Structure 1
Amino acid sequence: MSYILLAVPFFFLLIGLELILEKVRKTDYYRVNDAVNSLSAGVLSRATGIARRLVPFTLYALVFEHVALMSLPDMAWVWVLAFVLYDFCYYWNHRLGHEMNILWAAHVVHHSSEEYNLTTALRQSSSGLFSWLFYLPMALLGIEPVIFVAVGSLNLIYQFWVHTRHVPKLGWFEWVFVTPSNHRVHHAQNQVYIDRNYGGVFIVWDRLFGSFQEELDEEPPLFGIRKALHSWNPLWANVHVYSQLAKDCWHAGRWQDKLSIWFRRTGWRPADVEEKYPLPRADLTRFRKFDIPLTATTKVYCVIQHGLTVLVTFMLMLSVDKLALGQQWGLLGFVLLSSFSIGALMEQRPFAWWLEGMKNILVLAVLLYLSLPAWLMAGLGLGTLLSIGLLLSIRIKAPVRPFVQMEEQPRG
């Protein structure tokens, strides 16, 4: 059983509380464009996860049924053992996710935000294909698939609260568990912090295996990745490192390099590619956050549209077993289109206004076609009409040229 869906309302409640703290303490840890981008990446991850969820679970179940060395009972001590073992496997999954090109290409989504708040926790990858391999030892040891899924969801839920800057160091707790302080280190791109603190729940793995770094008062974290994303498009966030790897693979002269680049240390490039197509190195002394100014109306519109996308994703997740395959793909297609379109609007792309208009008209047409409960029909209809009104009130003008940050070198 996965508890993630049950925890989502509490995630948004805590985000609301953090926003209240933002006002009370007069901090600037939130930007609408960055927060919407993080939440859009999370929605994409959940929606696309439906399409690929069965493969890793089925493989885990096959190993458990046919290769397991023993069968552990469904007892409290087994759950505790499974919880600890899952975090141990997660540590190595996470560590390799930073140390191998193809794994970093998937994990980079989570690190692409230049802010650090609770929405960052929801900025998850939609393309992770190999993570399940790290958990097969649990199947070999006889951890039932149901227990595996349950402790995995609890592990992920725990990790949500550590993505905040409002919680200071927590004394003795820092020695055993992952906390906001030592996880802020993990999201920083400062040289002293880079590729440290991989634990999900327990920080003891980092202390044992030499990857721990304490947050230093004299070195405030700079959040983000060294090859900055420069985009609010969550689809591009999921593929931009794959794209660079594919280009380097194509340009490499030796077949050995074409094959090995995917499994080399993160940031490694063939010598001939590095010489012909160099990537400028990061200069953190000149670091500035990527930003494109938005009007208040545009911000409100994007928040409403994201809420609509979240609602559609929830409908997909809750009703996936009752929907025909065509309906599932239709809803997934809407989530992909909406996430891309909102990102384009926040980047002030000229086509985004027209794309959003067509999308809202399509939503109204679909609402008239579907047989939905009256309350849901009314809510979606009013939200869509409000969105159209806001969209019409936004003047179409030349896009503001965004601040262009220096091209930066990948991690590694």
Structure 2
Amino acid sequence: METYGKVLLIAMPAFLVLVLFEKWYGWRKGFDTVNNMDMISSLSSGITNVTKDVLGLSVGILTYAYLVKHVAIFHISNHVLTYIIGFIVIDFQAYWVHRWNHKINILWNHHIIHHSSEEFNLACALRQSISVFVNFFAFLLLPAALLGVPTEVLAVIAPLHLFAQFWYHTRHIGKMGWVEKVLVTPSHHRVHHAINPEYLDKNLAAIFIWWDKWFGTFQEELDDVPPVYGITRPAATWNPIKINFQHLWLLMKDAWRTRNWWDKLRIWFMPTGWRPQDVEQQYPVFKIEDVYHFEKYQPPHHAWLPAWSWVQLTFMLCIISFFFGNIAAIGAPNMFVYGAFIFLSVYAYTELMDQNKNAVLWEALKNALAIGWIIYTGDWFGMGSWQSWTIPVLIAYCIVSTVVVAWFCWQIKPMQHKPVLAKA
């Protein structure tokens, strides 16, 4: 956990700079693909995901270390070939896990957050799940285990494999010639994120596009079918924590409401989107039928709300950077308290972005807990020992942010927002 936290201290600023550069580049070229509130939501999702990972809030049913110990036929020494084999096997695993996430109802809940943005840009690459608590798919790494690829090698490769999927989430790079035959490119991934019928559940590979071509899930980006992005049952919220569990909540309600006991059992493992017939008729859920004419999520808000949301996000980035840099010193159980504060903070300010008046209650709760912790311990997880001025600044911020959010909530009025047509 500590090592991964140190890596994120380098990766997070790099990703943020690239996201902001894409925003500037699009503005400069007259082709801005980055919606401000959507970008904040995406970055906030990234914050929750890396926090969950650093806290280690997931377990493996069958770990790779166990496989290597019990099934290895050879033991490859630690050299370049080992890393190449490990990378290819991880990519093979990624393809099949990704494919099952798209095809099986319960697994779609693990992946829905990544597709929830109605835009396509570098920021949406950071929309990653916090709803995966159990990893069932280590068995797909069996080829590497049989060859005895060391666990330490995969531990190095796994984050690099994940970070290598960032760059192709953009609309500013066209088709790339011969590269399209080997690697996943922005063109391939635009197809993957599209909700056009021609593109649904295509191009599932992470790095090497040959998996899609071999297993029948490849689709080229068509000039006459501009991709439209999002999910067919729109999330309709900027709150990444809500998005992570929306589909699961729908499955739970459907399983409870249906009168058919067989449907109660099989709903979890049916194809993604399947609902019992009686429930679908009695409790219809909006689904996009015409991808070129639907209302994008953009609730009306006060002109200053985006600026305030950036203030909140910047505060969170500072808080999380301190956390990742000092997680060993913070230790357990305090690191879980810190993690809970991060999740509560994201939930509070994205509720305000959604124009929910209850945002002031979440904000007040979050700030009261922060000040209470400082009073109880005399510090903020060691931050005061590092720089004494940070504690009064943190207390002042908590007070001011509560007042500001209360003011924004007071400004919220019921409004009918106009439809925004989807644009390719």
Q: TM-score, normalised by structure 2?
A: 0.87
- Write the letter of the residue equivalent to 2:200: I
Secondary structure of the equivalent of 1:172? helix
Secondary structure of the equivalent of 1:223? coil
Asked whether 1:8 is paired with 2:18, we answer no
Asked whether 1:133 is paired with 2:138, we answer yes
Cα distance, 1:381 vs structure 2: 5.2
- Write the letter of the residue equivalent to 2:329: K
Deviates more, 1:310-319 or 1:95-104: 310-319
- Write the letter of the residue equivalent to 1:286: H
Cα distance, 1:262 vs structure 2: 1.1
Matches within 5 A, 1:120-199: 120-128=124-132, 129-130=134-135, 132-133=137-138, 135-137=140-142, 138-199=144-205
Identify the match of residue 332 of structure 1 among 332, 339, 343. 339
Asked whether 1:290 is paired with 2:294, we answer no
Cα distance, 1:402 vs structure 2: 6.1
Structure 2 unmatched runs, 5+:
none
Matches within 5 A, 1:114-125: 114-125=118-129
Deviations 1:287-342 (A, max 9, x none): 12101233343212211211222333333333333324231121111111111101
Structure 1 unmatched runs, 5+:
407-412
Deviates more, 1:169-178 or 1:23-32: 23-32
Asked whether 1:214 is paired with 2:225, we answer no
Equivalent residues of 2:90, 2:141 under 8 A apart: no
**Residue number in structure 2 paired with 1:88:** 92
**Residue number in structure 2 paired with 1:237:** 243
Cα distance, 1:205 vs structure 2: 1.0
**Residue number in structure 2 paired with 1:246:** 252
Asked whether 1:107 is paired with 2:111, we answer yes
Equivalent residues of 1:252, 1:273 under 8 A apart: yes
- Write the letter of the residue equivalent to 2:312: Q
Identify the match of residue 63 of structure 1 among 62, 67, 71. 67
Identify the match of residue 413 of structure 2 among 393, 399, 405. 399
Deviates more, 1:152-161 or 1:364-373: 364-373
Alpha-carbon separation, structure 2, partners of 1:314 and 1:55:
25
Alpha-carbon separation, structure 1, partners of 2:338 and 2:274:
39
- Write the letter of the residue equivalent to 2:213: R
CA 131–28 in structure 1, closer or farther in 2 if over 3 Å, else same: farther
Deviates more, 1:91-100 or 1:260-269: 260-269
Deviations 1:105-129 (A, max 9, x none): 1101100011111110100000123
Cα distance, 1:134 vs structure 2: 5.2
Aligned residues: 406
Secondary structure of the equivalent of 2:238? coil
Cα distance, 1:281 vs structure 2: 4.2
CA 378–105 in structure 1, closer or farther in 2 if over 3 Å, else same: same
Deviates more, 1:376-385 or 1:274-283: 376-385
Identity %: 34
CA 51–43 in structure 1, closer or farther in 2 if over 3 Å, else same: same
Equivalent residues of 2:184, 2:205 under 8 A apart: yes
Deviates more, 1:119-128 or 1:356-365: 356-365
- Write the letter of the residue equivalent to 2:349: I
Equivalent residues of 1:308, 1:380 under 8 A apart: no
Deviates more, 1:1-10 or 1:209-218: 1-10
Identify the match of residue 209 of structure 2 among 189, 199, 203. 203
Asked whether 1:48 is paired with 2:52, we answer yes
Equivalent residues of 1:110, 1:124 under 8 A apart: yes
- Write the letter of the residue equivalent to 2:145: A
Deviates more, 1:358-367 or 1:258-267: 358-367
Cα distance, 1:16 vs structure 2: 2.2
Matches within 5 A, 1:256-405: 256-284=262-290, 285-357=292-364, 359-360=366-367, 362-363=369-370, 366=373, 369-370=378-379, 371-372=382-383, 378=389, 382=393, 385=396, 389=400, 392=403, 394-395=407-408, 396-401=410-415, 403=417
Deviates more, 1:8-17 or 1:315-324: 315-324
Alpha-carbon separation, structure 2, partners of 1:296 and 1:158:
36
Cα distance, 1:373 vs structure 2: 5.4
- CA-atom RMSD, angstroms? 2.7
Q: TM-score, normalised by structure 1?
A: 0.89
